[in-house]
Amino acid sequence: MKNILVTGGAGFIGSNFIKYMLKKYSDCKIINVDLLTYAGNLVNLKDIEGNSNHIFIKGDIRDRQKLADIFSTYDIDVLINFAAESHVDRSIIDSETFLTTNIIGTQVLLDTAKYNWKLNPDDEYYHIYKPGAKFIQISTDEVYGSLGENGRFTEDTPLNPKNPYSASKAGADLLIKSYHETFGLPVIITRCSNNYGPFQFPEKLIPVIILNALAGKPLPIYGDGSNMRDWLFVEDHADALLLVLENGQLGRSYNIGGENERSNLELVHTLCTILDQKHPKACGSYANQITFVTDRPGHDTRYAIDPTRICSELGWRPSVTVEEGLARTVDWYLANEAWWRPLQSRQGVGQRLGAVG
185 class by beta-carbon count within 10 Å (0-12 exposed, 13-18 middle, 19+ buried): buried
Single-letter amino acid, residue 111:
D
Q: CA–CA separation, 135 vs 297, rounded Å?
A: 33
Region for residue 298 given its phi and psi (left: phi exceeds 0; alpha: psi -120 to 50; beta: otherwise): left
Phi, psi (5° rounding) for residue 246? Answer: -75, -45
Q: CA–CA separation, 180 vs 32, rounded Å?
A: 24
- Known active-site residue 246: no
Q: CA–CA separation, 6 vs 308, rounded Å?
A: 26
Of 165, 196, 254, 303, catalytic:
165
- Known active-site residue 165: yes
Distances (CA, A) of 71 to 55, 142, 173, 244: 13, 31, 22, 22
Q: CA–CA separation, 110 vs 116, rounded Å?
A: 10
Distances (CA, A) of 246 to 25, 60, 210, 249, 322: 12, 27, 36, 9, 27
Of 60, 142, 239, 259, catalytic:
142
Length of the chain: 357
- Known active-site residue 222: no
Residues 6+ apart with CB under 8 A from 181: none
Of 60, 77, 85, 141, catalytic:
141
Residues 6+ apart with CB under 8 A from 269: 287, 290
Q: CA–CA separation, 54 vs 59, rounded Å?
A: 15
Active-site amino acid positions:
141-142, 165
